[in-house]
Homo-oligomer: A and B are copies of this chain.
């Protein structure tokens, strides 16, 4: 039986890494010109801005808070569905995200906003959104491992997850110059395959010893619906949080909203068809209804049209629910891949799909639809990218998706082997999915 004693390792990891954060933030992180008291006054003068409402804060803060809710309540409560692992679901989600966002500010800062003159990273509201996004990658991966890893392992997978994320994001967004505002590629595809690869390496042949706890109970399914609904409702904010001001954010919201609505209907349809008596399954409603948000991450800011969005949602509900019905059991039996939350069906496949949908919609973009100015702005075709044609852009978008898959798989296998060292305090096969391992539990 493994030893779940973490009284030394967890505090050590938390303290050492948090002290490292203090030092690194002290050396590198400063306010940007829109949050610095002096900087903003100078910015207003130099940009001839007369009203404080022009501060980026007012364009992005409502979306930021929605994203924040998705990360902590959305992901957190979605993972409370197990009958005796609700503490671990919502609690370790909290821990991962709280650490991950700090590390993300540094990693993303080094790659994207390090001022070479001063050696400082400046942060503002958009940085906070990106940090939350970056955590999402590791939280998705945690979904595959829910109930099978120790809190120390979650910290390790987050440390590497955020690091890998920042690198692949730099490659995809900066080098390949893809557009991926809602992160179909950089967040969901990467996070999904990262988690699946780790889970594959950490395969537990005797996991059925914990079978009694590997499922939901009536009230835990209702708790999980809190997570589902906050994710579902706020996904338009997720996809639009960092898109272009004005029509860009506006359109992204409309597209995501429509796609998600459509996805719900096909999810209910397939869920009912998949059971002998036509009964619906909460697992599908909780998860597959969200797949459309994932799949619209890249293309929601494009002119995909309202009906295009609905078609994407339509397909995602079908594919994702099929995944829960048939693919997850298949993966477990044949590929020895244990995926607690079914992130394969909610993040990996819809994310990949979203990457390719984005490639197609980008390739189909014309000046006629976007206007000359709009096309340049939407795809950021300035500087050295100004001569890129739209079909080239589409090809790069597709390549970006492949990069995300590759990073997820290779990174996940490596991290998986690190997590197999017998020093992280993970539970024995017959003690998985049980909060008793890491929490003081009061059942009566």
Query: Interface of A with B (CB < 8 Å)?
Result: 5-8, 10-11, 14-15, 17-19, 21-22, 25-26, 29-31, 34-42, 44, 51-59, 61-63, 65-66, 68-69, 72-73, 76-77, 80, 84, 86-87, 90-91, 94-95, 98-99, 101-102, 123-125, 128, 151, 215-219, 221-223, 225-226, 229-230, 232-234, 236-237, 245-251, 253-254, 257-258, 260-262, 264-266, 268-270, 272-273, 275-282, 285, 289, 303, 305-307, 310-311, 314, 369-371, 373-375, 377-378, 438-444
- Nearest CB to that of A60 among chain B residues? B250
Contacts of A76 in B (CB 8 A): 225, 229
Q: Are B58 and A265 in contact (CB under 8 A)?
A: no
Q: Are A250 and B55 in contact (CB under 8 A)?
A: yes
Given the interface contacts A53-B54, A215-B442, does A34 sit within 8 Å of B247 by beta carbon?
Answer: yes
Contacts of A269 in B (CB 8 A): 10-11, 14-15, 18
Q: Chain A at the B interface: mostly helix, strand, loop or mixed? A: helix
Q: Which listed residue (B40, B278, B440) contacts A279, Cβ 8 A?
A: B440
Contacts of A230 in B (CB 8 A): 69, 73
Contacts of A101 in B (CB 8 A): 257, 261
**Among A57, A84, A226, A245, residue most surrounded by chain B Cβ atoms (within 10 Å):** A57
Q: Are A29 and B275 in contact (CB under 8 A)?
A: no
Complex alpha-carbon distance, A121 and B366, angstroms: 22
Q: Are A280 and B54 in contact (CB under 8 A)?
A: no
New A-B pairs, 12, CB < 8 Å, besides A25-B310, A151-B280: A22-B307, A29-B307, A36-B303, A37-B370, A53-B245, A55-B250, A57-B249, A62-B62, A84-B218, A91-B285, A95-B265, A123-B254
Q: Are B439 and A280 in contact (CB under 8 A)?
A: yes
| CB of A93 to closest CB in B, whole Å | 10
Complex alpha-carbon distance, A6 and B277, angstroms: 8
Complex alpha-carbon distance, A52 and B171, angstroms: 30
Given the interface contacts A17-B265, A61-B253, A66-B65, does A7 sit within 8 Å of B273 by beta carbon?
Answer: yes
Complex alpha-carbon distance, A123 and B281, angstroms: 34
**Among A76, A270, A441, residue most surrounded by chain B Cβ atoms (within 10 Å):** A441
